[in-house]
Structure 1
């Protein structure tokens, strides 16, 4: 076992999985390694047990290149192939039904719904809600479920879980007691942690570099925000997105957040096709200057229609660049 002191009750989730005759696993829109890795790890175990299982996400149309080498990727199906009815529907790393996008309508056709997540802002939209806001990743929570279920975490499952763990901890920058123990256990199955990390975090097309030059060149600092904690922000315009995938765009926030003069970072990303629609990523410090002030960006994001974690959150906004910046500044007052 990873821990003998479980902060959440795992029994209902384990019993639902054990009794399921067919399973659909849904990841959130614009899926990252934690949602896909968690979903595929669970799916691999279910397939091993002989249970029919499908994994899907609503958008975009194709999985990010960096995630296509995850074991079990063949279990991913397009939204049109997700059945309207299923014995058990599991969502992984989804803080609300809205994060399922167009696949949210599949909830109504499930005999039972199980939500596995670690977002503090989770709306508990399942019949069974396995939510641990203290978990460093949904992948870590899935590992605890598998342990409680008595299922082996073999190398393919470990690969998927490690992908979620390494990305959601920011290469182990944000950890909790037990995180490194879990990583050691997963690596002990023989997976190549360095290669997994390189493919997920350190490999980008050349076009990423001029995109960064354009976006970071327009970055701005608002030092007076939140009583002097400060906000660093940047806009990713539609013209910056040509030839790049969502993972390249998402990486910008992890650069903007390194500004020493700001305890809060924001990146506003213009939608590729819908005028006036933006997705916004927020980050705040969990150590060093600004951390003691307790900036909870999940509360800010929730107030603006989104959600997330205390130090990492996001939301969707509508309007001009000036409008959405003004709305964020007002929410941070």
Structure 2
């Protein structure tokens, strides 16, 4: 007998799946716009940037003036995503209008995740939020937020269907990077039969899934290996944390990145190595920025809602993958996170 999958936590009560009226309102806004600005979140991952570029390529096909951007300085596309088509659409933050006609954000759960572009987004005549995070704060003037979608790329695919834009190899490649990234290569609990059907349609459009997988997960610099080795040496296992389910955590000082020439975006996947510890339900990686700020990434296997824990620390995300920012230093931050996961109620399955 197979092991039953953990039940997905229910979405927040104030979140609902998009209605037909929601879809139509967004389609109408796109139809009115002569130019559209598309935003991914800071330190973009495959779902954020893949979704933005896929939609940008589709709008360009329709003759719409389109810009893609994200609010980092410096603005650097992660090496693992350098294969994504459509990067000629990416512009620096300064080239985004002060008051855009129509702006659409992708995979952004909180306006603060827009970084340097937050003020411009909040000044837009129309701001559409396309997202799937249960922790979404509900910003924007129009919203397509589906907390049951495994990736924002799935919502973009539906938008393209409603716009009548067919999948070509370039658009499908961007969408595949999105859904593969946010499902952990289709391993996470949010993956459903419909997710695999979506992936099948993308493969039929010409996606080279093997090449994409190599770039997303199996290609790193030697410097990254040195940073990873040091992070694993620092790793701590706390079996009694998370109600006895276990916590494994580590941190990466800025000095390590500087010493080995590793950009911050390159270590975003480090959490997926740390979370492999069989003795821990919850994993945490703290990454230090030059100013000492700590960015926390957490993962859970199903018995702890890390989105709720991270929300208690001012962050958010998904039940099984969430993050937060801290200015308290490593010991105090780990203590606060430990207290947040210890405060989680025991799951029904326990």
Task: Give me the TM-score of the superposition, normalised by structure 2.
Answer: 0.88
2:266 corresponds in structure 1 to: 248
2:291 corresponds in structure 1 to: 274
2:18 to 1, 5, 8: 8
Residues 249-283 of structure 1 deviation map (CA, whole Å, 9 limit, x = unaligned): 11210011111111011001111x103x1000010
**How do 1:58-97 and structure 2 match up within 5 A?**
58-61=71-74, 62-97=76-111
Instruction: Give the Å deviation of 1:7.
Output: 4.6
Structure-2 separation of matches of 1:52 and 1:135 = 28
User: Are the equivalent residues in 2 in contact too, given 1:237–1:269 (CA < 8 A)?
Assistant: yes
The answer to whether the aligner puts 1:265 opposite 2:275 as a matched pair is no
2:206 corresponds in structure 1 to: 190
2:248 corresponds in structure 1 to: 232
Q: Which runs of 4+ in 1 moved over 4 A?
A: none
Structure-2 separation of matches of 1:163 and 1:280 = 23
**How do 1:134-153 and structure 2 match up within 5 A?**
134-153=148-167
1:17 corresponds in structure 2 to: 30
Higher mean C-alpha displacement, 208-217 vs 117-126: 208-217
Unaligned runs of 5+ in 1: 1-5
User: Are the equivalent residues in 2 in contact too, given 1:28–1:57 (CA < 8 A)?
Assistant: yes
User: Are the equivalent residues in 2 in contact too, given 1:64–1:246 (CA < 8 A)?
Assistant: no
Structure-2 separation of matches of 1:131 and 1:179 = 17
2:317 corresponds in structure 1 to: 308
Higher mean C-alpha displacement, 233-242 vs 96-105: 233-242
Structure-2 separation of matches of 1:139 and 1:188 = 17
User: Are the equivalent residues in 1 in contact too, given 2:315–2:323 (CA < 8 A)?
Assistant: yes
Structure-2 separation of matches of 1:328 and 1:91 = 29
Structure-1 separation of matches of 2:108 and 2:17 = 19
RMSD over aligned CA atoms reads 1.4
The answer to whether the aligner puts 1:114 opposite 2:128 as a matched pair is yes
1:170 to 184, 187, 194: 184
DSSP-derived class of the 2:134 partner:
coil
Instruction: Give the Å deviation of 1:60.
Output: 4.4
User: Are the equivalent residues in 2 in contact too, given 1:29–1:60 (CA < 8 A)?
Assistant: no
Aligned residues: 319
Structure-2 separation of matches of 1:60 and 1:231 = 33
Instruction: Give the Å deviation of 1:183.
Output: 0.5
The answer to whether the aligner puts 1:44 opposite 2:61 as a matched pair is no
1:3 corresponds in structure 2 to: none
User: Are the equivalent residues in 1 in contact too, given 2:168–2:206 (CA < 8 A)?
Assistant: no
DSSP-derived class of the 1:125 partner:
coil
Unaligned runs of 5+ in 2: 1-15, 343-350
Task: Give me the TM-score of the superposition, normalised by structure 1.
Answer: 0.93
